[in-house]
């Protein structure tokens, strides 16, 4: 039986990764610091459901400080933990991003080398592309982050590649593009749109609403992680994980209104520093290297997320 370590196991993507691994019969060790970047209650709810499974062992700890003996006997690491959010990564909060995105990743990589871990799958981000020179972006393009958050995600991704080429650690970095779906973080736009529609409260729209995003359903992202864990690839691989299409914020608002059957009042605000005008990715390398393609269309994924929001009311 394979043993997997999932960091950020109580978070949005991490909890879904744990679910699928357990469904496939693996033993899962989960680590989560339960930081208060967003509602800890939502994380505790996910962790409680996981802990009820006999093949899940949960640990509440900070990767930067905890003993890494937790890696003993681990075959695959799914490193989903990190400090999220573009808008909060400026000024005096930057040290949190350095610790949780860069230092935590380096500690795990060192321990993985020492313990002979077979595969290290890292949750990277489309934020490292910044405002790209052309679209769709592919992995050969020069990263140019537009926020401190993007800088730390790129630094951690570089560490994964360096440990791959220097020590032979089999690493795969997955560049996520705007993940949405059930259990989404409350600070993310799709979550806030559904809550605004269901509660009749205004939605803060930063900028014109013409910003384009490549939305990726969380179930597709989870499948990408498992594909990356088993594919025969060279150490240091980097791949885009994206939904394969672009949608403006105004179009997304209209789709959520259609799914919920309710109108959304907009509270128009100035653009936020660090927000890019567009994202959009080529997923050719993901298809060729790890055998992954997105399957869930945006409208279907929004229906599934809507059902989750209703189930929590």
149 is catalytic: yes
Tell me which of 149, 180, 191, 217 is the catalytic residue.
149
Question: Phi and psi at residue 230, in whole multiples of 5°?
Answer: -115, -10
Cα separation, 52 vs 54, whole angstroms: 6
Decide: 124 and 174 in contact? Cβ < 8 Å: yes
End-to-end CA distance of the chain: 38
Question: Which among 219, 161, 188 has a CA at the least distance from the CA of 16?
Answer: 219
Give the span between the Cα atoms of 102 and 108, in whole angstroms.
Answer: 10
Residues 6+ positions from 40 with CB-CB distance below 8 Å: 34
Query: What number of residues does the chain have?
Result: 313
Distance CA 259, CA 304 (A): 10
Tell me which residues are annotated as active site: 149
């Amino acid at each position: 039986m394979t043993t997997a370590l999932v960091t950020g196991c109580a978070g949005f993507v991490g909890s879904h990764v744990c679910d699928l691994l357990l469904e496939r019969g693996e033993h899962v060790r989960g680590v989560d610091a339960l930081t208060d970047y967003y509602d800890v209650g939502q994380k505790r709810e996910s962790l409680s459901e996981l802990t009820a499974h006999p093949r899940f062992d949960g640990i509440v700890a900070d990767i930067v400080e905890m003993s890494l003996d937790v890696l003993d006997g681990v075959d695959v690491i799914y490193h989903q933990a990190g400090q999220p959010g573009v808008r909060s990564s400026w000024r005096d909060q930057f040290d949190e991003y350095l610790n949780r995105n860069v230092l935590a990743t380096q500690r795990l990589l060192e321990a993985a080398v020492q313990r002979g871990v077979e595969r290290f799958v890292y949750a990277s981000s489309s934020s490292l592309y910044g405002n790209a020179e052309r679209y769709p972006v592919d992995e050969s393009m020069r990263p140019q982050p537009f926020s401190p958050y993007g800088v730390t995600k790129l630094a951690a991704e570089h560490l994964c590649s360096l440990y791959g080429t220097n020590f032979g650690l089999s690493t795969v970095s997955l560049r996520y593009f705007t993940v949405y779906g059930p259990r989404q973080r409350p600070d993310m736009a799709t979550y806030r749109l559904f809550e605004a529609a269901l509660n009749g409260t205004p939605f803060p729209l930063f900028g014109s609403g013409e910003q384009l995003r490549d939305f990726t359903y969380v179930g597709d992202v989870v499948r990408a992680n498992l594909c990356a864990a088993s594919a025969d690839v060279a150490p240091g691989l980097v791949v885009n994980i994206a939904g394969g299409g672009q949608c403006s914020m105004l179009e997304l608002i209209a789709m959520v209104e259609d799914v919920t059957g309710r109108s959304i009042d907009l509270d128009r605000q100035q653009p936020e520093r660090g927000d890019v005008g567009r994202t959009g990715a080529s997923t050719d390398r993901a298809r060729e290297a790890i055998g992954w393609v997105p399957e869930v269309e945006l409208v279907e994924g929004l229906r599934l997320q809507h059902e989750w929001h209703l189930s929590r009311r």
